[in-house]
A and B are shown apart, each in its own frame.
Chain A
Amino acid sequence: GESVGLHLPTLSVQEGDNSIINCAYSNSASDYFIWYKQESGKGPQFIIDIRSNMDKRQGQRVTVLLNKTVKHLSLQIAATQPGDSAVYFCAETSAGDYKLSFGAGTTVTVRA
Chain B
Amino acid sequence: SAVISQKPSRDICQRGTSLTIQCQVDSQVTMMFWYRQQPGQSLTLIATANQGSEATYESGFVIDKFPISRPNLTFSTLTVSNMSPEDSSIYLCSVVPSGTYNEQFFGPGTRLTVL
Query: What residues make up the interface of A, taking CB atoms closer than 8 Å to B?
Result: 32, 34, 36, 41-46, 49, 51, 89, 91, 93, 95, 98-105
Interface-lining segment among B13-21, B41-49, B61-69, B75-83: B41-49
Assess the B104–A100 pair: CB atoms within 8 A: yes
Among B1, B44, B92, B102, the residue within 8 A (CB) of A95 is B102
Verify A103–B42 contact, CB threshold 8 A: yes
Our count of residue pairs bridging A and B at CB distance below 8 angstroms stands at 60
For A49, give the chain B residue with the smallest CB separation. Answer: B103
CB pair A42 B108 closer than 8 Å: yes
B1 in contact with A46 (CB, 8 Å)? yes
Q: Is the CB of A34 within 8 A of B104?
A: yes
Which A residues touch B92, using CB under 8 A?
43-44
* Minimum distance in angstroms from B24 CB to a CB of chain A: 14
CB distance from A59 to the nearest CB of B (A): 13
In the assembled complex, B31 has its CB within 8 A of some CB on chain A: yes
Told that A98-B48, A100-B33, A100-B45 touch, could you supply 8 new A-B pairs with CB distance under 8 A?
A: A43-B92, A43-B109, A51-B101, A89-B42, A91-B43, A95-B101, A99-B58, A100-B94
CB distance from B105 to the nearest CB of A (A): 6
| With known contacts A44-B43, A102-B43, A104-B42, A32–B101 Cβ distance under 8 A | yes
Which partner residue on chain B sits nearest A44 by CB separation?
B106
Q: A99-B45, A102-B42 are in contact. Are A43 and B104 (CB under 8 A)?
A: no
B1-54 CB contacts (< 8 Å) to partner A:
1, 4, 30-31, 33, 41-45, 48
Q: Which residues of B contact A102 (CB under 8 A)?
A: 42-44
Residues of A within 8 A of B94 (CB): 100
**Residues of chain A lying within 8 A (CB to CB) of residue B42:** 89, 102-105
A32 contacts B106, C-beta separation under 8 Å: no
Cβ distance B106 to chain A, nearest Cβ, rounded Å: 4
Q: Does B96 contact A (CB under 8 A)?
A: yes
Q: Which residues in B have their C-beta under 8 angstroms from that of A89?
A: 42-43
**17 CB-based A-B contacts, threshold 8 Å:** A34-B102, A43-B4, A43-B106, A44-B92, A45-B106, A46-B103, A46-B104, A49-B101, A49-B103, A91-B43, A95-B101, A95-B102, A98-B30, A98-B33, A100-B45, A102-B43, A104-B42
